[in-house]
Amino acid sequence: MTPTQPRRRILLVLSTLGWAGAETQVIHLASGLARRGHQLTVAALRDAAVNVEPLEDLGVRILTLGAESRARRLLTVVQLARIARRMDLVHSTGWDTTLWGRLAALLARRPMTITEQTPGRDEQVSRSGAPRGRWLALHNRLLGRFTARTVACGRWQIPLLESEGVPSASIVHIPNAVPVDELQAAASNGGVTREQLGLGSRTKILFQGARLLPHKNQRATIAVLERLRGHFGDVRALLVGEGSDRSNLEREAREQGTEGVHFLGRRDDIPELLGLSDLVVHPSRAEGLPLVLLEAIAVGVPVVAADAGDVKRLLDETGAGICVGIDDAEALFAACRDILEDESLHRRLSENARENSRRFDAAAMTSDYEALFESVIASRESVRSR
C-alpha cells in the first residue's frame, strides 16, 4: 500500500477454504492484502478444510457459515449482506459463490467484483452431477451489469464471459500466481526425502497435483508411467490430491497391474515434493490457469501438460515445458521420454522456469488486485460525493 493509498475493508467470499487452486488463490490474495495493511474478512459459505491460523496471524478475520444446502445459502445471503455493509468492497471467487456473494453485495449496496476460475462450463456441475453451465451463464447475464469488474484468470475465459453477457469493458485479466520465494525456500529445505516415500536415489519421479476427478485425467499419467517404466526401468508417479475418482483410479491401477503409482492424498508439503520430482505431468482436459504448474515453474521443475485453458500460453511465455494435445497419448509419452532422457533439455527447461517464474509471483498479483479494488472503491466514492 502506497503512503497515499487508504486502508480498505474488503470482504472475500468463496465456497470453502480448501485445497483447490481457486481457494488457494484467495488465501494468497488475502495474505498479500493483509500484509499491505488492508482489513480482510474471508467468508467461506461452507467450511474451512485448511489451517487458517497463518491468515488469522496476519489479522484476517475468518468466517465459516455452514451453508451446505441451497435453502441455507439463501439465508446466508442476508447474513453476508449484514457483513458487507461494513465493507468497502465485496469480492467473490468460485462458480457458486459469484451468485451468492453478488446478491449479498447488492442487498448491502456495496461495490462488487468477482474472479472467474472456470475450467469450462461443461466441468461445472452440482454435487449430484447435474450440469450448471446454463445456470452460471444466466446469473452472469443478469448480474454482470451490476458487477464493477470481472477478473479472468485465463485469457481464454474472456470470450466465454463476453458470450454470457458480461460487458467487455468490465473484464480484466489477472493471472493466477504463487509466492515464488516461499516455494523456492520450501522446496530446498529437505522436509521430505526419497527414502521416506520409498523411492530410490536413481528413481525418476513424475508428479501430478490435482483433484482426483475424471477431467484432471490422472489415467493418462498412470498410462504414460507404464510406458516410461518399460523404457527407463524405475520410474514412479506421485499423485497428490483427493477426489471422487480416487477409488476408481486405485482399483484400475491394481487390476491393470500398474506398478509405481503412489496415491499421496492431500499434502501440505507440495514444494518439497516438487523439489524431489524430475517432471510434472498435467494431462488435464479442462483448466483455467492451473496453480500446480505455476508452483512447478517457481521450483524449476520441467512440465509436460495438455493444451487446456491457458496452459499453452503459460508454457510458451516461460519456456518451462512442452505442451501436447489433449488425450494425445503418443505426444505425452514422447515429451516425457525426451525430457527425462535428455539432460541438457531438462536443464534448459528448468532454468527457463526459474528465470521466468516472477511473471507469476503472488506479490505482483496482489498489486494488480489492490489497484483494481482501489479504482472500484474510489469510483464509487466519487459518485457518492457529487
**Same domain for 367 and 271:** no
Cβ–Cβ under 8 Å, residues 65 and 46: yes
Residue 2 pLDDT = 52
**Same domain for 218 and 108:** no
CA distance 237 to 108: 49
Q: Which residue do the cell numbers 455452514 mark?
A: 66
Digit-coded pLDDT (tens) for 65-114:
988 777 787 888 999 999 999 999 999 998 889 999 999 999 999 999 99
**Same domain for 214 and 336:** yes
Does 4 fall in a domain? no
Does 242 fall in a domain? yes
Cβ–Cβ under 8 Å, residues 177 and 360: yes
Residue 222 has phi, psi (to 5 degrees) of -65, -40
Quick check: 4 pLDDT over 60?
A: no
**Same domain for 310 and 192:** yes
Cβ–Cβ under 8 Å, residues 214 and 332: no
Q: Where are the beta strands (DSSP E) in the chain?
A: 9-14, 39-44, 61-64, 89-93, 112-116, 149-152, 171-173, 204-209, 235-240, 261-265, 279-282, 303-306, 321-324
Does 271 fall in a domain? yes
DSSP assignment of 64-112, as one string?
E----SHHHHHHHHHHHHHHHTT-SEEEEESTTHHHHHHHHHHHHT--E
- 203 membership: H or E segment, kind and range: none
Rg, the chain, Cα only = 21
User: Which grid cell sits at 221?
Assistant: 499419467
Quick check: helix, strand or coil at residue 57? helix
Cβ–Cβ under 8 Å, residues 44 and 26: no
Q: What is the mean pLDDT of residues 269-290?
A: 95
**Same domain for 124 and 99:** yes
**Same domain for 240 and 162:** no
Digit-coded pLDDT (tens) for 290-348:
999 999 999 999 999 999 999 999 999 999 999 999 999 999 999 999 999 999 999 99
Q: What is the mean pLDDT of residues 136-141?
A: 88
Does 3 fall in a domain? no
User: Which grid cell sits at 109?
Assistant: 449496496
Cβ–Cβ under 8 Å, residues 358 and 175: no
Range of the domain at 256: 180-360
Q: What is the mean pLDDT of residues 232-250?
A: 95
Given pLDDT bands bounded at 50, 70 and 90, which one contains residue 5?
A: low
**In this structure, what is the dihedral angle of CA atoms 198, 199, 201, 207, given to the nearest 10 degrees?**
-140
Does 1 fall in a domain? no
Does 2 fall in a domain? no
**Same domain for 375 and 247:** no
**Same domain for 62 and 189:** no
**Same domain for 62 and 204:** no
- Return the amino acid letter for 298: A
Number of domains in the chain: 2
Residue 124 pLDDT = 78
**Same domain for 190 and 153:** no
**Same domain for 249 and 203:** yes
The domain that holds 366 is classified in CATH as 3.40.50.2000
Quick check: helix, strand or coil at residue 166? coil
Does 258 fall in a domain? yes
How many other CB atoms are found less than 10 A from the CB of residue 117?
Answer: 26
**Same domain for 333 and 192:** yes
